[in-house]
């Protein structure tokens, strides 16, 4: 039996021509153990430098037990320098933003907003985040979205859209509405691996007729 074309158990899934793993590319689900971060299978991250703590690298302000979570879907592609920011721990309701309670916990009663529930950051499936993109707290990014290098994403991103710039702005949708609906129904990232492999010629082609045929075959 041939080896699977993808292996979710591998920390380093990319093998070079010499048969050695590319250690700068990691599947985050195998590299992160953090109570506030969940990552789907086959989502990978690439860094140009050695990384000791991938959770701290991609979400440096998200501490265990924080009142918010980061959820990343399956088959996402995350480039060097991408950061997911957690909500700041600086008080904004009073006259000073200095976090006195961080240094004297007896003052925490004066800062209830610092421990109040906060919205999670949600990244869909098959999302590509380009180098140096920054995702602000509580943002939702839909399935199949592309985030350009250096973009600062401060608001929710629609599925199948391309966003770039600072602040991030939608440039266009990747596909028209009927194709988006087909892809939403197909949800290929949830299929068994052997079916995903069989779909690769269609997924790589952008062939709408092929996509429609694949949908009929899989749903028949």
Closest by CA position to 8, among listed 41, 37, 44:
41
Burial 141-175 (b: 16+ CB within 10 A, else e): bbbbbbbbeebbbeeebebbbbbbeeebeeeebbb
Do the Cβ atoms of 122 and 140 come closer than 8 Å? Answer: yes
Pair of tokens at residue 161: 């859209």
Plot region of 126 (φ>0 → left; ψ -120 to 50 → alpha; else → beta)? left
Which of the residues are catalytic?
A: 90
The residue length of the chain stands at: 220
Report DSSP state, residue 77. E
Q: Where are the alpha helices (DSSP H) in the chain?
A: 28-31, 54-58, 100-103, 177-186, 193-205, 208-219
> How many CB atoms within 10 Å of residue 95?
6
């Amino acid at each position: 039996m041939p080896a699977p074309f993808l292996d979710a158990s591998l920390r380093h899934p990319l093998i070079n021509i010499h048969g050695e793993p590319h250690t700068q590319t990691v599947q985050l689900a195998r590299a992160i153990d953090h109570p506030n971060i969940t990552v789907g299978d086959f989502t990978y991250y690439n860094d140009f430098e050695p990384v000791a703590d991938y959770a701290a690298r991609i979400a440096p302000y998200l501490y265990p037990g924080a009142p918010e979570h980061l959820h990343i879907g399956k088959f996402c592609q995350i480039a060097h320098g991408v950061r997911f920011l957690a909500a700041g721990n600086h008080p904004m309701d009073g006259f000073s933003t200095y976090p006195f309670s961080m240094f004297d916990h007896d003052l925490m009663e004066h800062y209830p907003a610092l421990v109040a529930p906060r919205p999670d950051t949600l990244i869909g499936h098959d999302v590509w985040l380009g180098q140096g993109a920054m995702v602000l707290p509580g943002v939702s990014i839909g399935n199949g979205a592309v985030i350009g290098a250096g973009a600062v994403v401060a608001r929710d991103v629609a599925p199948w859209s391309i966003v770039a710039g600072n602040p991030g702005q939608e440039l266009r949708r990747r596909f028209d509405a009927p194709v988006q609906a087909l892809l939403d129904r197909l949800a290929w990232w949830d299929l068994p691996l052997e079916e995903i492999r069989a779909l690769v010629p269609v997924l790589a082609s952008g062939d709408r007729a092929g996509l429609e045929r694949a949908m009929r075959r899989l749903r028949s």
